[in-house]
Structure 1
Amino acid sequence: MGNHADRTTGQTPGRDFTAASRDALVESLLAAGPGRPTLCEGWQTEHLAAHIVLRESSPLVAGLVLRPLSRSLERKTRELGAASSPPHAYQQLVDRVASGPQPPARLRQNPQASRLAKTIQGSPVARRAAQTTNLLEFFVHTEDVRRAQDRWAPRHLADDYANALFTEFGRRARMMYRSEPTGVVLARSTGQRVVARPTGKDEETRTVSGPAGELVLHAFGRRDHALVLLD
């Protein structure tokens, strides 16, 4: 984990951007430590780490989209977070975040099945699915930790990493802004523009301008902490 910061700020081509986002999240969790605030209301750092672990390992993750399971997921998140508040337990929990999803125990005990599971996880299809699922999630949660602390500054993102964020974000923009009362155009600092919500009859259009990462944070509801300009 020692070189994760370079993976989101350096210029080396061909990197795994999902892994870079995971590394940055791990760094932010370790730098903050347990018991620290986050931008996720009611969650401290250990709860956010627990959320990531459960999201990647528990059937209760369905509670993110199925309301009947949402309370069970929240309860489990709080239980795991509370159990992980001591420093050594917190370190172990963050190590699980760093390790990512693991094959079930019965597969890990079978060398052939374990190798097959790792091969599948490393396939282009699986990596693309992981980027779709995790790239933005990890970036936003990293900032949830960083920007809840007393002193923070925006990270300088490598161009290729910022491009990956913006490309993935562009695929979801209309869904994320569908409930806005006006038309919304997202204007990246590089000049790229995305219509996040088309303007209806007699409606105004609002332009949200800023770097790729800040636009992502605005779309994910971190509007008090996103460094954007509204026009």
Structure 2
Amino acid sequence: MNPPFDAQERAALCDLFDDLGPDAPTLLDGWTTRKLAAHLVLRERDPIAAPCLVLPGPPARFAERRTTAMVEREEFSWLVARLRSGPPIGFFRLPWVRSFPSLNEFFVHHEDVRRADGRGPREDLTPELEAALWRNVQRGSRFLSRRLRGTGLDIAWNGTGQRIAVRTGTLTAELSGPPGELLLYLFGRQAAARVEVLGPPTAVAAIGNCRFGM
């Protein structure tokens, strides 16, 4: 029996960390692989700072300080080993957490490292993983596009006929691509995601100017 998808992405990301070392770039501005590893460990193992990762203002700055302290305190090999060991007992082992936020987290950050290293989109995603990513696009797209105002948004899994209406507006754009690429776009990796944005020019421009993500 194959491990859950979040565990597969976690293991693949840790393998990539080991391959590239602590100072490789990521798609996150100013973040090395060392800082990304610290962020992922903090997310699961610092119950005080972890909730602050998704909050603006002072909480975000507090989480940033805790992440920086972990980067300075811990060896990269320790961070990767801690991450590779899996989620601790508790919240991050809940099935819905593993299938939704944790799968998103590890898939997107795996691609952050791959693509900053010059590796293109993976061609070997299984149909089962793509279906799981599509479910997460459906679950999260309204929240991740919450800053879009006045423009409609449809999202389509290209080549399948599957589509969702996310937002309504006088003019509507369609975001089309494979589920993993759609997820990257929705998480703010527009420049790296291999998607098409179709529709009236005004709507397409609004999508291009929107800040997607957490």
Structure exhibiting the larger radius of gyration computed from Cα positions? 1
Structure 1: how far apart are the matches of 2:21 and 2:155? 34
TM-score where L is the length of structure 2: 0.82
Residue 130 of structure 2: which of 151, 162, 185 is its match? 162
TM-score where L is the length of structure 1: 0.77
What is the CA distance between 1:26 and its match in structure 2? 1.4
Q: Which residue number corresponds to residue 213 of structure 1?
A: 180
Note closer, same or farther for the CA distance 1:152–1:63 as it changes in structure 2 (3 Å cut): same
Percent identical residues: 40
Q: Which residue number corresponds to residue 156 of structure 2?
A: 187
What is the CA distance between 1:69 and its match in structure 2? 2.3
Note closer, same or farther for the CA distance 1:152–1:196 as it changes in structure 2 (3 Å cut): same
Structure 2: how far apart are the matches of 1:100 and 1:20? 11
Instruction: Say whether residues 1:90 and 2:76 are aligned partners.
Output: yes
What is the CA distance between 1:101 and its match in structure 2? 2.9
Q: Which residue number corresponds to residue 204 of structure 2?
A: none
Q: Please list every run of 5 or more consecutive structure 1 residues that lacks an aligned counterpart in the other structure.
A: 1-12, 104-116
Note closer, same or farther for the CA distance 1:90–1:127 as it changes in structure 2 (3 Å cut): same
Q: Look up the equivalent residue of 2:76 and give its one-letter code.
A: Y
Q: Which residue number corresponds to residue 67 of structure 2?
A: 77
What is the CA distance between 1:184 and its match in structure 2? 1.1
Supply the RMSD in Å over aligned alpha carbons. 2.0
Q: Which residue number corresponds to residue 101 of structure 1?
A: 87
The number of residue pairs the alignment matches comes to: 193
Q: Which residue number corresponds to residue 140 of structure 1?
A: 108
Q: Please list every run of 5 or more consecutive structure 2 residues that lacks an aligned counterpart in the other structure.
A: 199-214
Q: Which residue number corresponds to residue 191 of structure 2?
A: 224
Q: Which residue number corresponds to residue 53 of structure 2?
A: 64
Whether the aligned pair in 2 keeps the contact of 1:35 and 1:46 (CA below 8 Å) is yes
Whether the aligned pair in 1 keeps the contact of 2:7 and 2:86 (CA below 8 Å) is no
Structure 2: how far apart are the matches of 1:138 and 1:206? 28
Instruction: Say whether residues 1:197 and 2:167 are aligned partners.
Output: yes
Structure 2: how far apart are the matches of 1:48 and 1:206? 33
Note closer, same or farther for the CA distance 1:227–1:102 as it changes in structure 2 (3 Å cut): same
